[in-house]
Structure 1
Amino acid sequence: MEDEIDECIRNRIEWPQLPIGVKKLLGDSPKEYERYIFEFSIKNQLRYRGNLVRTVRKDERKYYEVLVQGSIQRLMLYPYHLADMIVKGLRITPFIYYVEVVALLIEMEKSYDTMPNFTAADCLRLLGIGRNEYLELIAKARSLRRRGRSKAIRALLPRVPLNIPMLPWWRVELGYVLEEDVKPLCDSEKALIDLLIDRGSQTAGTLDYNVVKTLYRRGLIYLDVPITAADKVSVPPLKGFVMNRIAGDYFETLLYKVFVSVDEHTSVAELAAVLQVDCELVKQAISLYCRLGFANNLNPPPVTPQHPSWKDAVTTHKHQPYRQIAPLTFDPNVDEDALQMEPVLIKDAPSTSKQSSHDICDNATNNSGQRVAVLFDSTLAAYLMMGNLSPDLKSHAVTLFEVGKLCDESLDSLLMELDKVVADPEIEGEARRYLAAAACLRIALRTLRPSLRPLDLLRCEALHALGPAARARLFATKYRLAISTAPLSREARAGAVAGALPHVGPAPPEASTPWMRLYLYHVAGYGPPTLLLTKGTVVRSVPRALLGFARLCVWWWGAEGEGAALPAAAALAAANSALRRAPVLLQAAAVRHQPRLRHLAFPPHAHDGAEAEAQSLWRTHGGLRRLARRLRLARAAGYVALADIGVPDLGCARPPPQVQLVPPRKKKEVCGVAKPLSEVSLSSNDSVDKTTEYAKPVTNRLQSPIESHFAVTPTTESKTSSPANGFTSTEGGKLLCEELDNLNIDDNLIHRSKESICASDDFVAIHSSSNSIEELKKHDPEKSISKESISFSDDLVPIHSSSTSVENLKFDSKKKEDNKITSQLNDLLSPAEESISMFTQLSDKLTEITEGDSGVDTAHNFSDEETCKPEKWTILDLQFGIPLFDEALCERVCQSIVDRIAKPDILEKIKEDNEFIRSDVLKFVSQCQYYPGEDMGIVKRGTLVPLPRKNLVFENGRITEWNGK
């Protein structure tokens, strides 16, 4: 509502010409519109002449008085663009203005952080009051009496401004000078006053520097920093910037937009066109940067002839960043009373304001070579600042955070500071974490710049402030490629920042949410047991999928970084607490100790030495191969995080192409559920029919292998006080296998080879705790029984025996027994997604898997039809971009970008890949939200990531709806 009204006021649309919709918003009241005009003009420090406010308020002087008071109350920057009216009309110089601002804060005993960033920086420049000085003033003010306290506070503040830097190309303007002000002046000072009265403003460099400085400190003149539409500026590393807070007013917002958009090759006019902002506003912003020393004009106006006194002039800002500022003192040889100037009210004073001339906004020639953008988030800047590694490096970190950009021209100085810091052996403790980020940034720049120069560092959060349209125009005109660091925070949304550019980084907005992890597990078929719980869910006990894990990871929606690995009891308490406010991802972390982590760089390529073993996982790990194919990792760059959680990951033989949530059915409709083996008496003499009939009544008492393996108390009522399924020892497993071996099974199945079993999608091997794996002999394909000829209620799971090989199994040749045997196996063997978990008892051979071995040797091929095999390293996470926590990993990824990714023919394919991943993840999220056939709502993709509607569980390589157990 207010945005539409504000836009009409800025475009000077009067009431009769207002759109009908805006009039209705104002209640068809012209008076309400006038109130909006006045408040908007004061808040945005608009000039009286040339704006709608002159039709609302007839007293120009009164308007400026209210504007100044309102700006002081809001702690805004001094309105330098209105200096011709405020200094000449109200006799309020920038120094007097900021004295009032600081006095107001002290009277209210507000924190120094209350002052906005740019206001605090200007106060520091003119008054020399930084954080330490302000605290000292607060302490002195508290000892003052209440009576006359306001005047006493002002007596504590400086009486004259500091000796600020001046540049020769600045303009000297005359303030309002009274006759009493001229009497104590010397002849040279009076001559300069007369010159300004007779000839108007003068270039500072043509005048005597000492005279200009003295008159400025007396408050009789003020300085203007002229900027034209053709000027180009550079932003060096910030010094003297104060990091307090952001006020959010219009001009401050524009300052930050200009900060992240400006560079040495873009003129003011071009910058205004990119931002779609009035050129005069952009010139005001650039002028302020040059005044504060935050930017340098690359082509200032010529100064001829220059006065000799400017050879010794103070023209550069000698800031002492992040150190204590000099105390509030002044040269004792100078008469402070003579220099002090108080504001006075002027009656019937003629207006001396000058209408600023409109410069012709000529389009300058843009830099022909487009750049490469390295996107990072606020975490990197925070690491470089918090580490307290060095003052000069901290200056670059402040620039990265506040400006949001560091151009290629400034990277040489950054690299010099990074070289000093990385070589410092005295950095220890927590600072090593920050040092790792600095070292990785150094490696990334030194690897990428030689081939991809020019290269700019851009902060994602600052680019979001530009808005989608301005950001798209900026990237289209300046950049050809975007590369992200990793991992990025949730607010970064690098994919949205990069827009239409080829982007080596996270594509979908869901990349930093739990949805991405579930998507990776779904595609790969491997991953730790994971639950995604909706807001409001209460977990009363450890879920069945997570039983046996001593440590669990809790990651609540919107949290940054990795989830903390907590003891199971503490994890449940933390999850229930977080579930009151947001969804939670609950994930198995480790059986006993902290999980071991491993990082693999992609795209996969051959390496020599120790890295060859790690890269071999890309060939032998089924889940990694699926990820590489589905996400097109051959032309992407990043890393995969693997974890050893203490138990091999059985995975899924062939993950389903899409998630299909099955609506919960009534208990009597459930079919294909495994029977508790302890309740079934098996022997070679028992018939199949009798055994099946006996097993039916106890179907509902099934307990999962994980419960049976780790149970120490009965899970159901039992006279023997033993776990319900009786699977508690090696002897029990051997007994089961012996009974199965004695079953009369058709001889036609004896020649079924191991390869044919592996090729079937429905077979997932379960290994007994003390059994070796016997290979099956190959058979004639014509004699094999196809999957269609046997009716399976769910995935059939063959159990390997230790005492009898598969070759010794005896089958009845009668065809009518096939259906009985199939029914018998369905009764005895549980479906993979119901009962097989990480904790299925494995053979001793599996427990001896050495590091680097991706699983047992099952004589498989590397096709999609391969059987699922246990993997020591399960997939934990995947990140696109440059890692900033491991130097060796960072160097490998950056070298891959230079050698294999940053090629013209690859860049267009990267854009297609990113679009595919975006749509695929969004489709996956939709599948996880609705049942098949249910009316799927429109899931908005962008800044709003959809929250889960159902509790989901990932187990055994599949995502299903969690039933609460």
Structure 2
Amino acid sequence: MTSTATPTATAPPTATGESGNCQLQLQLCVRGNVPWPELPVHLRSVLHDNQRDYEKYVFNYSLKNQLRFRGNLASKVFRQEQRYYELLIQKNINGLGVFPYHLADIVTKGLRVTPFNYYLDVLSQLLRSDKSYDTLPNFTAADCLRVLGIGRNEYLALISELKTHTPRSLLFSAKPNPLDFLPRLPVRVHMEPWWRLDIGYVLETDIRLVTPAERSLLDDLIDFGAQPAGKCDYHVVQSLYRKGLIYLDVPISGEDRISIPPLRNFVMNRVSGDYFENLLYKIFVSADEHMTMAELAQMLQLELDSVKQAVSFICRLGFAQRKQTEHEAGQQHASWLDCSVAQLPQTPQITPLNYNSFDLDASPKTPKPQDNKEKDKDNSSSIGYLSSDGNTSDFSFANLSTPKASTNTTGNHNNTNNTSHSDEQELSSELEDVSERTTTTKATPAPKSGKRVGFLFDSTLTAFLMMGNLSPGLKNHAVTMFEVGKLCEESLDSFLAELEQVSLLDAEGEGDVSRYFAHAVILRSTICSLRPLLPGGLDLLRLECLEGLDWQTRDRVLEKKYKFIVSATPLTATLSHMFSIPFFGQFMRSSDATPMWSKLFYNHITGYGPPSLLLCRGTVLKSLPRLFLGYGKLLVNILHSDSYVLNSENFRNLNEQLKNGCVLLQGYGIRSVGQLHYESFPFQPTDARQAKWASHRAVQQLSSQLDLRQQCGYITFLNTGVPDLGCEDYELQVRLKQPQRKARASLPNAKSHVPNTEQLTSYQLKSPDENHFAATPEHGPANEYTSADCSQLLASELANCASPRGELVSQNSVELPLSELPAADSLELPDAGTEDWTLLEVNFGVPLFDVDTNTRICEQLVQQLSRDANLEQLPASAQQMQALFLEFVRQCLYFEDDPATPAQLLEPLQPTRPLPYPRLNLAFENGRVGYWNGR
């Protein structure tokens, strides 16, 4: 006899390496109903040739992915169908997942589990364990808000209410039941006429409490099956839904198309990382109104049924809209036309949480303003309306006592079903704005066709748009850009209208907040410049969401929709794989350490740049490195954060940063921070102002190695106050030499006039600052000068130390030949290679922080860079620059003369793999990258 006991949980095979491929194959076998006898041999070995382990895996996978019982392997390994769905619901509640709407015909009809009581159990579980609202995943929180009307503010009030009603005598015993404080009825949800109604779990006692119109509709559903919601009376449908006697189905076919407008009522909490949530985000960033669901499933290489279930859920939440035909729009009941404004999802009604009973005999009627005026006086404090982020501004009920079930039953029901006149006045302006947008949408011409321009950004831009108080309606667009990962051409008009309200004049006196305003203003001008380049228009794409797709799927999505991609710069997110279409942006960004490698790379191939030190994780600085002597300001580049300026005397603070990751230090100024200048490329020979920077030796050397004509971006120049001498003997290849071990010599005798050659070699340094101020690394500078005044004293002390015989006397009375050190004349009369401005950084793409640089780059994109001839050569140019960069990094990972170097370090780096972190401490000084010996 087959056992029907619940299989115990078992961990799936480890998803690493080959086991990860086996894991994927096992999942495909479960979905393909492959029984144990037909399972491949290598998959059996993963399961230890145990059929029982395969059955456990099938059962747990079916529960986790909410597979139907009938028609799947779950019915072969577990016999009790009802128990299977009970466990599925309980597992989903424990995991805080969304309601399984695709199984509503089973769980609602058979188990009488509706979305309303399902989310009541989810919230009561959170309240019992006293967990925060942020514990709810994003889509679960959004659906709770839609069904229960409970957002973040309401949840906090619930916690306060529970604590208020917990007497001290019960602190260590029984606690109040959270269900007593949760709503007794669902709120009025948004419905579409093309949704379908079906009968739920109806008892005889339920029939006694319905109106004749409601009973007639129930009879029709029993006799004729599911009906389109638009053919039925809207008020009857809402009443039956709130009583839990019907459920709503959102049908999606393979030929349907959807559009994703700016999000409303999306709750930004956390991501759970489960299969269904990942699928929702993939559809967000991939779907558009030009693509059918069948084409979308084919492009994502997913099952059509899975895609239809996910799209149905998105449409149910109001985050997507199905493109309807005129024939469907004309077949509606007259009551739906009267409720067109009431159907708006951005202002859902909220059921008061102190409402504990309702009148089932009351029939839904159209609210009358004169009946609602008096009722609002008593209940206005318990009803609020949602803002765009899912929170209420005037929802205060924390101190209200819970009324009894027999108190004001009818009055509360009427107040729940009707919208108050005062609330209508508060929302009148918002409803008018939405009505205007709806009217405009109907009059909008056909959507643009053809390939588009993709503008790539990262989460930093969305943070700027959400953090600053820029525009009232800009937050919805910023949330859409972050969560959906895309803002389509169809939504750009409203987005530009919101950006137009932002002015740089509003940022005066705001300090650091002014950059939020600058990004918004420059973003608008960028969109206006790039949008007309192609007939299809422009889409805004978030890099992190594209990275959520595997690179093959991402390339298929981009190749189908976009002709080329333009990137904002600088980007903080990583790009694991280069795009297969032309891309104006950083050619390499595969790890968090890439910006550090890039700065060192640009300095090395040009021979220009401030003194720089790339330190490995775990390095401990006991004294200020000699190459920074004379610099009072240092630029610190760390992982996962913006760079910042540090006073050189506080260098020991870097040891905390070095515990967590590598750090790049750069000389940034003597007494104050250096001056910065941004210059765009490609350079225009006719522009006299750019001719000065185009003739810079660093730019000339950079142009000989990298493509600055077909790409676009900007170069950051730095003036620290110290002229850059460049590099005389330039060599493209990096040659790291192992440090030679030398015997420690005693200090030279004070009477000696001829220094020991080995002592002189260890004492001499190329920089005059270092020769004068650094005597021994153990005791620091010989004359105790560590401030920025060191460089100021240098010139005068060099002159005073010179002897009549033309020799320089050191602090240790050792006479060093003057010819061994830089002459004083070289400081005053620099050679032809000296530059006041040095190279700090090179960025490819379009900046959003500098108006002049942004304008010049956009002009170049419009005039010449977007031509087909240039786009054809762009991928090959990017590959050449990428290969040169990867070879530089590889050479910096090992000593050239070390025979013990691992073989994998000698092989070329792969662009598809993350860029390695530094293994050796590297220094850029005098135009070259070399090994830093710790001094």
- What is the TM-score when the length of structure 2 is the normalising length? 0.80
Q: What displacement does 1:184 show? A: 1.9
Letter in structure 2 aligned against 1:282? V
Q: What displacement does 1:585 show? A: 1.4
1:942 aligned partner: 912
1:952 corresponds, among 898, 906, 922, to: 922
The change in CA–CA distance for 1:716 and 1:370 in structure 2 (over 3 A counts) is closer
Q: What displacement does 1:664 show? A: 2.6
The change in CA–CA distance for 1:651 and 1:204 in structure 2 (over 3 A counts) is same
The change in CA–CA distance for 1:104 and 1:698 in structure 2 (over 3 A counts) is closer
2:392 aligned partner: 324
Q: What displacement does 1:189 show? A: 1.1
The change in CA–CA distance for 1:519 and 1:378 in structure 2 (over 3 A counts) is same
2:423 aligned partner: none
Q: What displacement does 1:704 show? A: 5.0
Q: Unpaired segments of 5 or more residues in structure 2?
A: 1-12, 16-22, 348-386, 398-407, 418-445, 786-792, 808-815
Taking only the aligned residue pairs, the percentage that are identical comes to: 41
The change in CA–CA distance for 1:547 and 1:58 in structure 2 (over 3 A counts) is same
1:541 aligned partner: 623
The number of residues matched between the two structures is 802
1:664 aligned partner: 739
2:648 corresponds, among 565, 568, 571, to: 568
Q: What displacement does 1:430 show? A: 3.5
- Higher alpha-carbon deviation: 529-538 or 932-941: 932-941
Letter in structure 2 aligned against 1:321? S
2:191 corresponds, among 136, 157, 166, to: 166
What is the correspondence of 1:772-851 to structure 2 with a 5 Å cutoff? Answer: 829-830=819-820
1:378 corresponds, among 459, 472, 479, to: 459
Kindly indicate whether the alpha-carbon contact (under 8 Å) linking 1:709 and 1:728 is maintained by their aligned counterparts in 2: no
2:450 corresponds, among 369, 372, 378, to: 369
1:231 aligns with 2:256: yes
The change in CA–CA distance for 1:711 and 1:424 in structure 2 (over 3 A counts) is closer
The change in CA–CA distance for 1:657 and 1:155 in structure 2 (over 3 A counts) is same
Q: What displacement does 1:326 show? A: 6.4
1:500 aligned partner: 580
Secondary structure of the residue aligned to 1:513 is helix
1:892 aligns with 2:867: no
2:511 corresponds, among 426, 429, 444, to: 429
Distance 1:732 1:537 in 2: 34
1:486 aligns with 2:514: no
2:557 aligned partner: 474
Kindly indicate whether the alpha-carbon contact (under 8 Å) linking 2:763 and 2:775 is maintained by their aligned counterparts in 1: no
The change in CA–CA distance for 1:698 and 1:631 in structure 2 (over 3 A counts) is closer
Kindly indicate whether the alpha-carbon contact (under 8 Å) linking 1:133 and 1:325 is maintained by their aligned counterparts in 2: no
Q: What displacement does 1:450 show? A: 2.0
The change in CA–CA distance for 1:658 and 1:679 in structure 2 (over 3 A counts) is farther
Letter in structure 2 aligned against 1:373? G
Distance 1:729 1:424 in 2: 47
Distance 2:37 2:285 in 1: 39
Q: What displacement does 1:443 show? A: 1.4
The change in CA–CA distance for 1:714 and 1:130 in structure 2 (over 3 A counts) is closer
Letter in structure 2 aligned against 1:308? A
Q: What displacement does 1:459 show? A: 0.5
1:179 aligned partner: 204
1:582 aligns with 2:661: yes
The change in CA–CA distance for 1:457 and 1:305 in structure 2 (over 3 A counts) is closer
1:462 aligns with 2:545: yes
Kindly indicate whether the alpha-carbon contact (under 8 Å) linking 1:617 and 1:624 is maintained by their aligned counterparts in 2: no
Distance 2:475 2:784 in 1: 64
Q: What displacement does 1:653 show? A: 2.6
2:723 corresponds, among 623, 648, 658, to: 648
Kindly indicate whether the alpha-carbon contact (under 8 Å) linking 1:679 and 1:695 is maintained by their aligned counterparts in 2: no
Kindly indicate whether the alpha-carbon contact (under 8 Å) linking 1:522 and 1:957 is maintained by their aligned counterparts in 2: yes
Q: What displacement does 1:942 show? A: 3.3
Secondary structure of the residue aligned to 2:501 is helix
2:843 aligned partner: 879
Distance 2:411 2:84 in 1: 40
1:594 corresponds, among 657, 660, 673, to: 673
Letter in structure 2 aligned against 1:230? E
- Higher alpha-carbon deviation: 105-114 or 25-34: 25-34
Q: What displacement does 1:629 show? A: 2.3
1:673 aligned partner: none
Letter in structure 2 aligned against 1:952? L
Kindly indicate whether the alpha-carbon contact (under 8 Å) linking 2:682 and 2:713 is maintained by their aligned counterparts in 1: yes
Q: What displacement does 1:904 show? A: 0.5
Kindly indicate whether the alpha-carbon contact (under 8 Å) linking 2:504 and 2:518 is maintained by their aligned counterparts in 1: no
Q: What displacement does 1:509 show? A: 2.6
2:298 corresponds, among 273, 278, 291, to: 273
The change in CA–CA distance for 1:902 and 1:181 in structure 2 (over 3 A counts) is same
Distance 2:188 2:919 in 1: 63
Higher relative contact order (CA 8 A, sep 6+): 1
Secondary structure of the residue aligned to 2:119 is helix
Secondary structure of the residue aligned to 1:321 is coil
Deviations 1:453-510 (A, max 9, x none): 5111100110111111211111121111011101000x332xx455211110001135
Q: What displacement does 1:435 show? A: 1.0
Letter in structure 1 aligned against 2:388? P
2:714 corresponds, among 620, 639, 642, to: 639
- What is the TM-score when the length of structure 1 is the normalising length? 0.78
Q: What displacement does 1:32 show? A: 1.4
Distance 2:771 2:223 in 1: 99
Q: What displacement does 1:917 show? A: 1.0
2:610 aligned partner: 528
Distance 2:514 2:507 in 1: 10
Kindly indicate whether the alpha-carbon contact (under 8 Å) linking 1:679 and 1:698 is maintained by their aligned counterparts in 2: no
The change in CA–CA distance for 1:716 and 1:379 in structure 2 (over 3 A counts) is closer
Letter in structure 2 aligned against 1:189? E
Letter in structure 2 aligned against 1:377? D
Kindly indicate whether the alpha-carbon contact (under 8 Å) linking 1:695 and 1:827 is maintained by their aligned counterparts in 2: no
Deviations 1:878-937 (A, max 9, x none): 110110111222111111111121110011211111101111111011111223365544
2:442 aligned partner: none
Kindly indicate whether the alpha-carbon contact (under 8 Å) linking 2:574 and 2:589 is maintained by their aligned counterparts in 1: no
1:396 corresponds, among 477, 487, 490, to: 477
1:443 corresponds, among 514, 525, 528, to: 525
Deviations 1:663-700 (A, max 9, x none): 33344999xxxxx9x9998xxxxxxxxx9x99788555
Distance 1:28 1:599 in 2: 65
2:491 aligned partner: 410
Kindly indicate whether the alpha-carbon contact (under 8 Å) linking 2:507 and 2:517 is maintained by their aligned counterparts in 1: no
Distance 1:244 1:722 in 2: 54
Q: What displacement does 1:312 show? A: 1.2
Deviations 1:723-760 (A, max 9, x none): 9xxx965585599799789xxxxxxxxxxxxxxxxxxx
Distance 2:146 2:751 in 1: 85
1:310 aligned partner: 336
1:298 corresponds, among 323, 329, 334, to: 323
Q: What displacement does 1:20 show? A: 2.0
Secondary structure of the residue aligned to 1:642 is strand
The change in CA–CA distance for 1:580 and 1:221 in structure 2 (over 3 A counts) is same
Letter in structure 2 aligned against 1:45? Q
1:962 aligned partner: 932
1:626 corresponds, among 691, 701, 723, to: 701
1:711 aligned partner: 773
What is the correspondence of 1:50-199 to structure 2 with a 5 Å cutoff? Answer: 50-145=71-166, 146=170, 152-199=177-224
Letter in structure 1 aligned against 2:682? P
Distance 2:537 2:498 in 1: 20
